[in-house]
Structure 1
Amino acid sequence: MRTSIFLLLLAISCVYAISRGGAPERWVAAIIIGMGALDPLVHVVTPLEYAKVDPGHLFIDLAGWLGFLCVALRANRFWPLWVAALQTIALVAHMAKLLDVTIQPKAYMIMQIASSYPLLVVLMIGTFCHRKRLKTIGTERSWRNS
């Protein structure tokens, strides 16, 4: 049930961002879709377990974080910083597990997964705010000049 709700939220937020958002919204949606597409491939190579550090998800989370950070540093919006910060939580989970293997597997799992839901909500809010600014102002730059 949790997976179905997450996939529905992922689909709604990414379709909304790609169809109605500006370039930063579309880039963040593309990164999220890429992360989601890599997830099943990771499970082919490594089993899903939280008793030790999951190298596949560590790679996906690190790549996603770098992508979100690049968008956040270039976008003419504030919300991509929130997305990068939320993705940082998943990276902190991996680092915490690396430093202390006695962390309960359930806590490691929650730290990895929990920030994904608000990340999608922030993408929808960012896209909504972009649409609102377009109606009010008429145009909006996607990227900063410097």
Structure 2
Amino acid sequence: MDRVWIFYAIQIAASVFALWRGGAPERVLGLALLLAAVSTQVLQDDMAVRFAGVELDVLLVDLALLAVMLAITLHADRFWPAWATALHLLGTGAHLARAISPDVIRLTYAVLAAAWSYPIVVLLVIGTLRHASRIRSKGWDLDWSRQDPTLR
């Protein structure tokens, strides 16, 4: 259980960093990841039956997060959200794997659903660092693809 609290500490730090230093895509994703982590913790089944079947509440949270991530990927003037969205799609696919084959081992399902969270958080931090670097070097950075740079 310690690894869960370590992840939450990392997620909170990354989200706060994105909210503090990131552009709009980083801030939106940082907030969405934080809300998804809290929602998952609140909605997950208790430990005795966790991952014994498809975690429907967690699946709904993952699908909502996927929708937000897809919107960011399609509209952000960044490339890193595409990688984060692809990784989250892999995690969301674990629910489908469990639904198709109930014989999937509980631990395998749990790892497949959660393991992608760590690299997504790393991508958020890298994206935020790169945004801050572009702001320092150029003085501005487009957030969304159709944004006019003169409207900064």
TM class, shorter-length = over 0.9
Number of aligned pairs?
144
Q: Does 1:33 align with 2:34?
A: yes
CA distance in 2, matches of 1:8, 1:40: 13
CA distance in 2, matches of 1:40, 1:9: 15
Q: CA deviation at 1:117?
A: 0.7
Q: CA deviation at 1:41?
A: 3.0
Q: Does 1:89 align with 2:76?
A: no
Aligned to 2:124: 123
CA distance in 2, matches of 1:8, 1:36: 11
Matched AA of 1:2 = R
Residues 133-142 or 52-61, more deviating: 133-142
CA distance in 1, matches of 2:64, 2:51: 20
Question: Could you give the per-residue CA deviations for residues 46-98 of structure 1, whole angstroms, max 9, x where no partner exists?
Answer: 43511211101100111101101101100000011111111101111001011
Aligned to 1:47: 46
Aligned to 1:100: 101
Aligned to 2:57: 56
Aligned to 1:15: 16
SS at match of 2:145: coil
Question: Could you give the per-residue CA deviations for residues 102-145 of structure 1, whole angstroms, max 9, x where no partner exists?
Answer: 01000000001100111101000000000111111111110011
- Where structure 2 has 5 or more consecutive residues not aligned to the other structure, the ranges are 148-152
CA distance in 1, matches of 2:104, 2:13: 34
Residues 56-65 or 33-42, more deviating: 33-42
- Where structure 1 has 5 or more consecutive residues not aligned to the other structure, the ranges are none
Matched AA of 2:54 = V
Identity of aligned residues (%): 31
CA distance in 1, matches of 2:110, 2:41: 16
CA distance in 2, matches of 1:8, 1:42: 19
CA distance in 2, matches of 1:98, 1:139: 46
Matched AA of 2:96 = M
Q: Contact 2:8–2:37 at 8 Å: present in 1 too?
A: no
CA distance in 2, matches of 1:88, 1:98: 15
Q: CA deviation at 1:40?
A: 3.4
Aligned to 2:74: 73
SS at match of 1:56: helix
TM-score by length of 1: 0.94
TM-score by length of 2: 0.90
